[in-house]
Amino acid sequence: MTIQIINADCMTALADLPDESVDCVLTDPPYGETSLEWDKWPTGWPALVRRVLKKTGSMWVFGSTRMFFDHVEEFRGWRLSHDIVWEKHNGTGLFNDRFRRVHELALHFYRDDAQWADVYKQPQFTNDARARVVRKKGRPAQWIGATGETVYRSEDGGPRLMRSVMFCRSEHGRAVHPTQKPVSIVEPLLLYACPPGGTVLDLFAGSGTTGLAAKVHDRRAILIEGKPEFARLAAQRLADDVPLFAGSAA
């Protein structure tokens, strides 16, 4: 599958993409929570990216609660579907008078002129269900024609709908980008929202993790990265690292 890396400002690059040309957006924007030079929120990007997303498509955005609250007005034109919590093994230590933050959020949006029933989605499962018996009444007993109990039995190790809190080790100590996401947190979001053979867009591509997951799972990807050094790193990771994931990705 084609993985395209565009070294350009995301706002400029988005203007060159055709209307409704991508199936999924999966991105990790700067949160704008620090004074670091690179941590600047590009005002207006949610409205611009909406144009290039198909009505059957959707968008995952990593962020913090503060980030989404600060920019809530920019998500007009979008509907929120659901969210996941990425639990990390380490956390930020910026403040010692608050709970140590060991999580980030990923919120799932779709266009407000689309119908949820028409949006592509492929629920993800894990094979770690515990054995149990569930009894459900077909109808309340007072209803005429009640059918009584239906019994469902599951087995250890069976499929279970993936939960909204996901634990994945961060890339601390091995990352080549300051906010690099592990492939293991990106994969289930990609598989949920991007159809086989579809195109995923990441407009803050960093070191290319979205591209790694896309290549392993036979999706096309458009990766936009403003800094030349990170665009080169993304290309290098795609060339060197993908064989390590082939056949082992969840």
What digits encode the pLDDT tens for the residues 134-169?
666 555 555 555 555 666 665 666 788 999 999 987
Q: What is the DSSP letter of 104?
A: E
pLDDT of residue 250: 31
Q: Which residues pair with 104 in a beta bridge?
A: 86
pLDDT of residue 143: 53
Those residues of the chain that have pLDDT short of 70 are 1, 92-95, 131-157, 171-179, 241-250
- Is 189 in contact with 26 (CB distance < 8 Å)? yes
Q: Which residues pair with 133 in a beta bridge?
A: 153
Between CA 21 and CA 53 the distance in angstroms is 6
CATH class of 3-124+162-245: alpha beta
Domain boundaries, the chain: 3-124+162-245, 133-159
pLDDT of residue 67: 96
Q: Between the CA of residue 146 and those of 94, 133, 136, 152, 153, what are the distances in Å?
A: 59, 21, 12, 18, 21
Q: Between the CA of residue 54 and those of 44, 62, 108, what are the distances in Å?
A: 19, 20, 15
pLDDT of residue 21: 97
pLDDT of residue 134: 62
Report strand pairing: 22-27 vs 199-202.
parallel
Q: H or E segment at 244?
A: helix 242-245
pLDDT of residue 247: 36
What tens digit of pLDDT does each residue of 65-103 get? 999 999 999 999 999 999 999 998 877 666 678 888 889
